[in-house]
């Protein structure tokens, strides 16, 4: 089975690489991934998948399915880019293609296609061997700041999934064995009254003052919240460019993170009170626009064990000396803080950084820790047993959401990491299909983790995707 998968992916590598590069060449941000989603849907239809789009009210969300009976195996793909990260490919210096344009600073051009290759391989194997099983590829938009999967989970898209698998590009190889931070994001829009700032300041009610006072209040809140929580903000509307006019409108976007969604919700309620207080102090009004949220990720030890075994079975990534040399050029652009001490802690292990490109996977270890980041894969993990891995697609030390990550997105070593993922995810899925007791065990483990209440979406029913820009 392993040898068959390896051969299949090698035969498909040119097609898969071309799709990934197309998505890199056409970066699109949250909810706008029209070309990227269509490219993947076309590939699914060509391979014989039935495709449905416009899931959960999102035109760029879709599912491709093969099979009518047996366990439902889902592969989760992403393809959204980030703003202000335009960068030339393969160049180890910051050189935007177009200043202010988008770029794949989190490697989602690779993420979506690595999962796609696995879906193709499992479908082909089941078809060739006459085995039961339903293979689905979920096209999930807006992971970056949009929580597309949370909207999909809220609408029941994953309800009948028996096993969900995904991955993320990284500078290392490991099973994702930790939880993540839940988050809530909302716009606080203040409305006041404009006036001449010199002649009649007493007639004005400054919305910008309200934004600033809210931020001060939130800063005081930081002292009185749990250690694992985080709050970030961006002033998305400062009210204009004229200091001699009292700003009648201003807006701040706040992002709250915490280990559990109920902790994030508690902080959100307290933050809303702070906003109301800022409005009272300035004689303005405030409108709260709930933007998005996502739940914490629930690791599944049963699935992770199989993923770890499959990573070991597939083995090290065969990077060449030339690829190592190219990656070393990017390492030269990192600070000492980026590189740390030359080693990076992961699941309680240590990864040697002797080579710029980490070849070998870490052995899987079950750990109880929280990664200080968020992903909407968390909501899927509350609904269906979910496993994910990370795989080397960039030089060791490369920070995510940077021009260096964008620049490496079309390198030959990024392609190798992506194809390695297709093999690992496909092998893991087939191992569990051949032993359905493992799927049942994974589902029991999930049920114990979520308890009797089960999944409750952190996004209220009345909130629509991309509501602010609709």
Q: Domain 2-179+296-450 has what CATH class?
A: alpha beta
Q: Are strands 72-77 and 163-170 parallel, antiparallel or unpaired?
A: parallel
Q: Are strands 174-175 and 50-53 parallel, antiparallel or unpaired?
A: unpaired
Short-list 361, 363, 341, 365, CA closest to 353: 341
Secondary structure (DSSP) of 53-122: E-GGG-TT-EEEEE-SSS-EEEEEE----BTT----TT-SS---SSTT--B-TT-HHHHHHHHHHHHHHH
CATH number of the domain located at residue range(s) 182-294 in this protein? 3.30.70.360
Q: Which residues of 170-198 are buried (b: 16+ CB within 10 A; e: fewer)?
A: bbbbbbbbbbbbbbbbbbbbbbbebbeee
Instruction: Tell me the three state secondary structure of residue 3.
Output: helix
Short-list 244, 150, 237, 151, CA closest to 198: 244
pLDDT digits (tens, 9 = 90+) for 390-429: 999 999 999 999 999 999 999 999 999 999 999 999 999 9
Q: How many angstroms separate the CA atoms of 72 and 125, rounded?
A: 15
Please state, in angstroms and as integers, the Cα–Cα distance from residue 417 to each residue in 64, 107, 189, 222, following that order. Answer: 24, 11, 43, 39
The residue ranges of every structural domain in the chain are: 2-179+296-450, 182-294
Contact between 391 and 420 (Cβ < 8 Å): yes
Domains 2-179+296-450 and 182-294 share a fold: no
Question: Cα torsion for 94, 98, 100, 106, to the nearest 10°?
Answer: -60
pLDDT digits (tens, 9 = 90+) for 252-276: 999 999 999 999 999 999 999 999 9
**pLDDT at position 345:** 43
Instruction: Tell me the three state secondary structure of residue 43.
Output: helix
Q: How many angstroms separate the CA atoms of 206 and 282, rounded?
A: 7
pLDDT by 10s per residue, the chain, length 470: 999 999 999 999 999 999 999 999 999 999 999 999 999 999 999 999 999 999 999 999 999 999 999 999 999 999 999 999 999 999 999 999 999 999 999 999 999 999 999 999 999 999 999 999 999 999 999 999 899 999 999 999 999 999 999 999 999 999 999 999 999 999 999 999 999 999 999 999 999 999 999 999 999 999 999 999 999 999 999 999 999 999 999 999 999 999 999 999 999 999 999 999 999 999 999 999 999 999 999 999 999 999 999 999 999 999 999 999 999 999 999 988 777 534 444 444 455 567 999 999 999 998 888 988 899 999 999 999 999 999 999 999 999 999 999 999 999 999 999 999 999 999 999 999 999 999 999 999 999 999 998 999 999 999 999 765 44
């Amino acid at each position: 089975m392993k040898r068959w998968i390896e051969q299949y992916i090698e035969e498909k590598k040119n097609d898969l690489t071309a799709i990934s590069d197309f998505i890199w060449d056409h970066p699109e941000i949250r909810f706008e991934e029209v070309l990227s989603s269509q490219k993947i849907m076309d590939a699914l239809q060509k391979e014989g998948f039935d495709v449905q789009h416009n899931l959960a009210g999102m035109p760029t969300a879709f599912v491709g399915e093969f099979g009518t009976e047996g366990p439902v195996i889902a592969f989760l793909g992403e393809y959204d880019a980030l703003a202000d990260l335009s960068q030339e490919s393969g160049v180890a210096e910051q050189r935007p293609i177009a200043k202010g344009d988008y770029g794949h600073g989190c490697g989602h051009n690779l993420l979506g296609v690595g999962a796609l290759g696995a879906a193709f391989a499992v479908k082909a194997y089941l078809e060739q061997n006459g085995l039961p099983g339903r293979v689905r590829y979920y096209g999930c938009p807006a992971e970056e700041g949009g929580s597309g999967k949370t909207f999909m989970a809220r609408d029941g898209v994953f309800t009948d999934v028996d096993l969900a698998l995904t991955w993320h590009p990284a500078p290392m190889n490991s099973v994702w064995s930790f939880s993540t931070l839940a988050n809530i994001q909302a716009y606080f829009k203040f409305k006041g009254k404009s006036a001449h700032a010199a002649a009649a300041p007493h007639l004005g009610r400054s919305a910008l003052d309200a934004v600033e006072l809210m931020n001060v209040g939130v800063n005081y809140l930081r002292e009185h919240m749990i250690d694992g929580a985080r709050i970030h903000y961006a002033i998305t509307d400062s009210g204009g460019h004229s200091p001699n006019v009292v700003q009648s409108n201003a807006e701040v976007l706040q992002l709250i993170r915490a280990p559990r969604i109920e902790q994030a919700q508690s902080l959100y309620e307290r933050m809303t009170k702070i906003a109301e207080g800022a409005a009272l102090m300035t004689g303005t009004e405030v409108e709260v626009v709930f933007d998005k949220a996502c739940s914490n990720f629930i690791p599944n030890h049963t699935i992770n064990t199989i993923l770890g075994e499959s990573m070991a079975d597939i083995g090290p990534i065969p990077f060449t000396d030339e690829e190592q040399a190219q990656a070393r050029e990017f390492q030269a652009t990192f600070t000492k803080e980026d590189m740390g001490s030359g080693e990076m802690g992961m699941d309680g292990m240590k990864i040697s950084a002797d080579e710029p490109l980490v070849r070998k996977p870490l052995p899987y270890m079950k750990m109880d820790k929280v990664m200080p980041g968020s992903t909407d894969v968390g909501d899927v993990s509350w609904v269906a047993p979910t496993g994910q891995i990370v795989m080397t697609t960039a030089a060791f030390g490369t920070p995510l959401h940077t021009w260096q990550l964008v620049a490496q997105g079309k390198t030959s070593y990024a392609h190798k990491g992506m194809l390695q993922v297709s093999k690992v995810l496909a092998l893991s899925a087939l191992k569990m299909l051949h032993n359905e007791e493992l799927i049942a065990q994974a589902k029991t483990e999930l049920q114990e983790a979520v308890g009797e209440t089960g999944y409750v979406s952190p996004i209220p029913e009345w909130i629509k995707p991309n509501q602010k820009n609709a």
